[in-house]
Structure 1
Amino acid sequence: MSTHTVTPSRPVFPTLRRIAWLAGALFWSAFAVLEAVNHGWLAGTLALVFFVLPDLTFLVALDDAPRMAKGQLPPRAVPYYNALHRALVPLALVALYTLAAPVTWAPAFAALCGWLAHISYDRAFGYGLRTKEGFQRG
């Protein structure tokens, strides 16, 4: 009688999803750098500011942080964190900027690229939106 051990394999879909997010992150990062090179220091600065900005939502409830469990965001910071970590918001603004905006300003587009790069890197590395209690959603 043959015995063999079945080892559980990781689902392929989540891995592919994270690879796709990483590809998006690299794309938006490259686009932000291109905008900075083509349009100057203001475009580069705004791309960098908007790359960092979503994580500054941690500061909303900094005084509550010592009382939180490991990995938990203070609940009153969650709405701000989730609002700045939804990809639909900057994607809609990119579409509006590209298709319908009467005024084009390259630094604004660079900022949106930085914001999308941040969200994409977070998703690629396994960070997503938070529950109302402040924990990572499953």
Structure 2
Amino acid sequence: MGGGAGHRTRPRRRPRPVALRAAWFAAALFWTAFAVLEGVNHGWLAGGMALLFAVAPDLTMLAAIGDPTPTVRGQLPPRAVPYYNLAHRAAVPLGLAVLYTFTAPKEWAPLFAALCGWLAHISYDRAFGYGLRTKEGFQRD
């Protein structure tokens, strides 16, 4: 894995500050607790939706199946990047949660539980040093 012609190498990443990662971890614990609470209070459907949406953002990597583009370790195939980045932007589930607050029937808790699970996933990713990808599929700084 050298820097010669024809070789792809991973760009160097700067580590995220410890305080920022700790804040993301605190958010992850908050959203996890909220998702569990929704499951306990509203039944198996809410708990199942929270669990499904806690895993779903990484299923976007399946968009890369069959992509012939060669990649290096840690690189996501470029075809999957737009889907991955959309599913890993905290603004998406946060915006949907705000929309839910004003428009959705309050008695349908599984939707809110799903959003909590999604936000927990994103928060854990950020806490453990994973973030959005460049168009080439590498982790952004």
Give the shorter-chain TM-score range: 0.7 to 0.9
Matches within 5 A, 1:4-43: 14-43=17-46
Q: Please name the residue that 2:84 is paired with.
A: 81
**Count of matched residue pairs:** 126
| AA at the equivalent of 1:40 | G
Deviations along 1:29-57, whole A, 9 cap, x unmatched? 00000000000000011000000000001
- Distance in 2 (alpha carbons) for counterparts of 1:102 and 1:115: 18
Q: Please name the residue that 1:112 is paired with.
A: 115
| AA at the equivalent of 1:119 | I
| AA at the equivalent of 1:127 | Y
Gaps of 5+ in 1: 1-12
- Distance in 1 (alpha carbons) for counterparts of 2:69 and 2:98: 40
Q: Following TM superposition, by how much is the alpha carbon of 1:64 offset from its aligned partner in structure 2, in angstroms? A: 3.0
1:40–1:63 distance in 2 versus 1, CA, 3 Å: same
Q: Please name the residue that 2:57 is paired with.
A: 54
Matched-pair contact (CA < 8 Å) for 2:81–2:133: yes
Q: Following TM superposition, by how much is the alpha carbon of 1:62 offset from its aligned partner in structure 2, in angstroms? A: 2.2
- Distance in 1 (alpha carbons) for counterparts of 2:64 and 2:30: 32
Deviations along 1:110-133, whole A, 9 cap, x unmatched? 000000000000000000000000
Q: Please name the residue that 2:136 is paired with.
A: 133
Q: Following TM superposition, by how much is the alpha carbon of 1:59 offset from its aligned partner in structure 2, in angstroms? A: 0.7
Q: Following TM superposition, by how much is the alpha carbon of 1:102 offset from its aligned partner in structure 2, in angstroms? A: 4.6
1:64–1:40 distance in 2 versus 1, CA, 3 Å: same
Instruction: Detail structure 1 runs of 4+ shifted over 2 Å in the superposition.
Output: 62-67
- Distance in 2 (alpha carbons) for counterparts of 1:126 and 1:70: 16
**In percent, how many aligned pairs have the same letter?**
70
| AA at the equivalent of 2:56 | L
The answer to whether structure 1 residue 96 and structure 2 residue 102 are counterparts is no
Structure number with higher helix proportion = 1
Gaps of 5+ in 2: 1-15
RMSD, matched Cα: 1.7
